[in-house]
Amino acid sequence: MANVADDQAPRGPRADAAGETATMDGVLPAPDRSRVLPFPDWERYELLERLGQGGMGEVFRARDRRLGRMVALKFIRDANTARAERFLQEARTQVRVDHPHVCKVFEVGEVGGRPYIAMQLVSGQGLDLAAPAMSLSEKVQVMRDVAAAVHEAHRLGVIHRDLKPSNILVERHEGGRYFPVVVDFGVAFDDAHGHGLTHTGALLGTPAYMAPEQARGDLAHLDRRTDVYSLGATLYELLTGVTPFTAATAAEVVAKVLHEEPPSPRAHAPDLPGDLETLVLKCLHKEPEQRYASARALAEDLGRYLDGEPILARRPSLLDRWRRRARKHRALVAVSALSLASILVLSVLGAHSWLEARRTRAQLATRARLAEQVGQQVKEIEWFLRTAHALPLHDTQREQQLVRERMARIAEKARELDEYGKALTHYALGRGHLAMQEFEQAHAELSRARGLGLDSPELHYALGQALGAKYRQGVEDMRRGGDKAWVAKRKQALEQEYLVPALQSLERSRALELESPHYLEGLIAFYRKDYDAAARAAARATVSAPWMYEARRLAGDVALARAVEQRERGEYDAARSGLEEAATLYTQALEAGRSDASSYEALAQTWLERVDVELDQGRPARDALERTLAATAQAARAAPHRSMSYRQRAYALMRQYKVENNRGAVDALEPILKDWIDSGLRAVARAPNDVYAHDALAIGYYWRGLYEWRHQRDPRPSWNEAIARLERALQLQPDYPWALNDLGLIHFNKGNHLREHGEDPRPAFTEAARYFEQAARADPQYLYAWANQVHVHNAMADFGLGRGLDPEAHVRRSIEAGERSLAINANASPTLGGMAAAELMRAQYLLDAGGDVRPPLERARQQLERALRINPTDGRSHLHVAEAHHLAALQAMRDGGNPAAELEAGREALERAYQGAPGCVDCRVVGARVALAEAEWAGRQGRPSLPLLQRARAEAQRAVDMVPYFEAHQELARVYWRLARALPPGGASTAVASGLEQVERALKLDANLAQAHLIRGGLLLMRARGTEGLATRQEAALQARAAFARAFELNPLLRRRHQELADEVEPLLARLAASRQGLD
């Protein structure tokens, strides 16, 4: 923020926590709320209270009625020309400096004949007031941050010239850290505007903090080192409690600044570290070349001090101290010298004023001709590209190359021009980039033009469009980076960076004579989110300028933005209707601009949103997917050099892959993966710093790894490539929640892959959990970061369950993560399914341990009922329902009850699971288990069990055929074990052999499967009881004993149910041994 008034007036308006307003002289009483506030009916801002006032102006706390934010409004008190010019120069200068520690200027305007500046409202107090409560390291940290901010201003050619503690506001952020904000650029030198009023020789600044060259009025030698001096004077006061020079009058202070050396800081603060004294005195050197060369160099030395490293500054040498003493005795005419300099400047200016007037007239005529020429060139470029876009769909690279060559010639001529000519050149280049929809480059060129002093409505019209486009793309990208709260937080930053200045520039372009003023009105309304007004204005623009297809595209943008917001609120029917409207409008725009890639990209984005709407509701999305892919292909044909269409295509193919995978279309998957990865590679090649292009490509590699795993190929190379891409995305955007989550998914599946190959998956699962937790910390409202914690803890629980370990700890963490997920979205059906799976594992452990399974089963059923109300066709949820009925049936049989109802309900749930997820291999495994339970119940009732066992075998065999992983082989082996017991001896022998073949395959994948060793023991025991040779039977019995022992070692819970069976081995061995002895 800036001054309330001039040097003798209150400074730095702020909303202080104590209800006070700091000034350069201390603290004013609480803001005055008793006086009537001006402009009560002002539609732009609502004035809430007067924060302070002085000789030049007054400052109010106000609410922005359009954007809903709090601002500080600074008004000039009268129409004095010099004050008004200085007031506006303050805004022009400060708005150029974009840094967190520099107060932001939002808007300059006029109301009731009074100019105003709308600025950031800073909650805090002046550094002069905050300093007594700060520690030494906190003071140094604050000045390091301030120096870094001042360096950013210097980089843009802005010298502050009035740095002092009262022009540095300090807030307390989380953790107690002080956050400084530099304010008051009212007397700054801006190389885009010059020294302005200071050419009169007026002494602007504050004497106690002025560098000698500033105190002399030596304007030609003011540079960044002038501010370095002021930073040193400010640090001097912070460390000692006094300014470097004090006197009764300002003139006496100036004399000391010019001719005396500052007292040693340790003369005031004896305990001050020597490094800080050295650092301060270097800043306060009379000769600029002996100071730090830049504010950044000062900031870096302060950082070294804070880090405990040696500083670069050195104490003055003996010769340097001698020169300073000699200089001290020349201080005889300090104040007179300043006055004389002012008189001389005025004399020179008067002598040459008539020459300046003549030169000015000639310069204005030249500038007018140049502006006309540039305007004509801009129109030619824009109409040439519009003509190219109107042609039938074709590659526009040739036309764009011609435009680039034209722009290069324009840039070449700029070398011969003055600064105004250079500004016009940058403006023309910015308009060229804007016409080619290269918004980043357009923004850069237009900002350079503005920095060189160009401030025309035409410039603001172009700048507003470039900024608005960057804002929209930034918001769209953010939507792919995290959940609503994360997006909302970053959206606020985007609004400040792009949206607010876009609106300011568009407002300032209203005076232009445009093809259609309604189009400008529509843009402004659109960015203000007044969608109804924007739609009306776009429709009027279409009527008044039917050749201007951009108006139809704007109408499409409005419909798309409204539909996206409706989808985010869960208003799916309204969103679907809005997306249809947007697609129609974009298609109409394409009728006139058949080779405009941006319109195809907008159409592709619309259909991609439609895909998500359908998938959110579990509806078919193939038609919307095909339309998305068609639009991306057309966009790529129109502009093969742009990355956006390839990135959109990659995201669309990601959704198509999931749709085809869920419906079991295995043959369609590999071509989709190839297209997906190819599109991602093209996107990254065209935009190497596009975070989301890397993300889309990484997910493609991740899914290719899953596909390779499923088809018995090594997935690790693909996953390693995915990890590399995600790590690159995180370099570009640290704490990017989706990249962290995707890294977790890769490590999660690495763990599953290790498990299926007999290796310990727990380190990989732990790494996955770490990434999921990191994603949740980056965005606490990120649904999937919590939901995936559910699944990884379920995997760890399941791994332990297979070894007889109590899964309770992981089940609890799974359910806790699920509750966090549901707090974000109560309708997250996959989370409910995961929590149900955790309860099912708890129930399985209780069943194995002899406990009561009913409480966890009841909780699982409640969660699954909720999940299926949200998504009735979800195959995975129906699978969990079947598992719950299966466990309930087993409990009923063990308790002597009737499981028929549970088994029938389980079969029905499985049928729905098969329909919802045809490619679900786990569904077939559970189908085999349910059929086995039905066979056991049939046998208990005296009914034939063989048909049910044969059905179980068919289900298990289908699972093996789909994905031959350890659990499928193990379940098929279990079915053969049961079949062997039900078949006559001849058939039993074949079943035993088939079962042993399957169990060996399972153990080859994982040698530590307790259930597989148990099944092997059972099959070998049957072989030992069979009719084969005695030696074969005896060997089978010995192997059965070893298999049972290994099973019980791996999972002690198996003893409870199967010890009796294992105990049959020893008597059998004894009988076989006796038989062998009899033969001998």
Annotated binding site: 74
Query: Angle, to 10 degrees, between the axis of helix 875-894 and the axis of helix 921-940?
Result: 20
Looking at 687-715, list the stretches that DSSP marks H as alpha helix, in order from N- to C-terminal side.
Answer: 691-710
Distance CA 831, CA 835 (A): 6
Token pair in block for residue 178 = 């002080």
Distance CA 279, CA 231 (A): 11
* Contacting residues for 559 by C-beta, under 8 A, at least 6 apart: 535, 578, 579, 581, 582, 585
Number of Cβ atoms within 10 Å of the Cβ of 1059: 11
CA 1028 vs CA 980, 988, 989, 1025: distances in Å:
15, 12, 9, 9
Token pair in block for residue 489 = 């937080």
CB distance 1019 to 1010 below 8 Å = no
Number of Cβ atoms within 10 Å of the Cβ of 1076: 13
Cβ neighbourhood burial of 807 (10 Å; 0-12, 13-18, 19+) = buried
Number of Cβ atoms within 10 Å of the Cβ of 352: 11
Q: How wide is the angle at C-alpha 794 spanned by C-alphas 792 and 798, nearest 5°? A: 120
What is the DSSP secondary-structure string of 165-204? GGGEEEEE-GGG-EEEEE---TT-EETTTBSGGGGG----
Distance CA 602, CA 605 (A): 5
| % helix, strand, coil for the chain, step of 5 | 70, 5, 25
What is the residue whose two structure tokens read 């007594």? 132
For residues 41, 44, 46, 49, the Cα torsion angle rounded to the nearest 10 degrees is -110
Pair type for strands 114-120 and 105-111: antiparallel
In this structure, what are the phi and psi dihedrals at residue 351, rounded to the nearest 5 degrees?
Answer: -65, -30
Checking phi first, is residue 664 left (phi over 0); if not, alpha (psi -120 to 50) or beta? Answer: left
What SS3 state is found at 525? helix
Please give the annotated binding residues for ATP, written as ranges.
74
Token pair in block for residue 364 = 């204005």
Checking phi first, is residue 596 left (phi over 0); if not, alpha (psi -120 to 50) or beta? Answer: beta
Distance CA 195, CA 915 (A): 77
Distance CA 81, CA 70 (A): 29
Number of Cβ atoms within 10 Å of the Cβ of 317: 9
Distance CA 98, CA 345 (A): 34
Question: Which one-letter amino acid corresponds to residue 278?
Answer: T
What SS3 state is found at 871? coil
CB distance 886 to 906 below 8 Å = yes
Sign of the Cα torsion 629, 630, 635, 640 reads positive
CA 866 vs CA 826, 834, 856: distances in Å:
9, 12, 16
Sign of the Cα torsion 228, 229, 231, 235 reads positive
Question: Which one-letter amino acid corresponds to residue 174?
Answer: E
In this structure, what are the phi and psi dihedrals at residue 287, rounded to the nearest 5 degrees?
Answer: -90, 120
Distance CA 449, CA 431 (A): 11
